[in-house]
Amino acid sequence: MLPEDPQANPAEISAQAEQIRSSMRRLQRRQWWMWSSAVLVTLLLTLAIASFAFPGLMAQAEALSSFYLSQTVRGLVGLVLLFNVYTIYQQLLIHRIQKQLTEQMETMTKMEVRTEEVYKLAALDALTGLYNRRSGEQRLASEILRAERTGRPLTILLLDLDGLKAINDKHGHAAGDELIRTFAQHLNRAIRGSDLAVRFGGDEFLVLLPDCKLDEVRYVLGRLSGHRLEYKGIVIAIAFSAGWATLRSGERADDLLKRSDEALYVNKRASKESSGITPAAG
């Protein structure tokens, strides 16, 4: 059965598509078995007919024996015909089911594409391809629960691009957008597969770092530092400020974000045009 909700979870759509593919494979195996059985039964009945007919022909049996032999042969031929008719009927049913499943697969494929597009619109930032703020906050809540359950550390990192307004004023908003997009690409490459990068605001980014201790944030910042953007013959240094904090026992998401934001504000004041890699709140 196809899902009624066109915005269903992509994983659910994929699971249902796999169920249909599995059904089609079973039908193909059943179809192969039906044809194989038809051929086998036909061969066996043909051999049975020959076994009855050949001795009678060789011995030139009497008329009564020939009559019974003729009736037996006709009966066997009738069974062959009935079995073949039944096989053809089953093949027609299988063909009809395959056609229906193929149509469902085509519909499911379209729904997968549509669901993926809806998911991207709902969860991802259009400019950078990173997760948007709403998705980031939902993931942060999940990571806090996981950290409290397992006792493992959770660190969040707030990043703010320096001088974006000046770049917009001097080179245009297209240059500012390209700066944001380029920084997002570097950010994605700087983090681990288990981390999550989020565009939190216009020029602000949030990074969730599960199983990451406070002093390990510097490795991420080091990989982010020193990049430049070449845009229409000009070179723009990508500068940012950073603030980070590690989850405390019983702390809520809002409090954790507030501590990171306070650390970011302190670092941004210290050096607006530097990488902002200075000690942050713990």
Q: How many CA atoms lie within 13 A of 105 on its CB side?
A: 14
SS3 131: strand
Are 217 and 155 in contact, with CB atoms under 8 Å apart?
A: yes
Task: Please tell me the pTM assigned to this model.
Answer: 0.60
Compute the distance between CA of residue 228 and CA of residue 58 in angstroms, rounded to an integer. Answer: 99
What DSSP string describes 59-102? HT--HHHHHHHHHHHHHHHHHHHHHHHHHHHHHHHHHHHHHHHH
Compute the distance between CA of residue 136 and CA of residue 140 in angstroms, rounded to an integer. Answer: 6
**pLDDT tens-place string over residues 143-182:** 999 999 999 999 999 999 998 999 999 999 999 999 999 9
**pLDDT tens-place string over residues 51-81:** 655 555 445 445 545 555 566 666 766 777 7
* Alpha-carbon distances of 256 from 154, 177, 225, rounded to whole Å: 10, 29, 24
Q: How many CA atoms lie within 13 A of 8 on its CB side?
A: 16
Give burial (CB, 10 Å; 0-12/13-18/19+) of 90. middle
Compute the distance between CA of residue 177 and CA of residue 180 in angstroms, rounded to an integer. Answer: 5
Q: What is the mean pLDDT of residues 16-33?
A: 70
- Is the C-alpha dihedral spanning 139, 144, 145, 151 positive or negative? positive
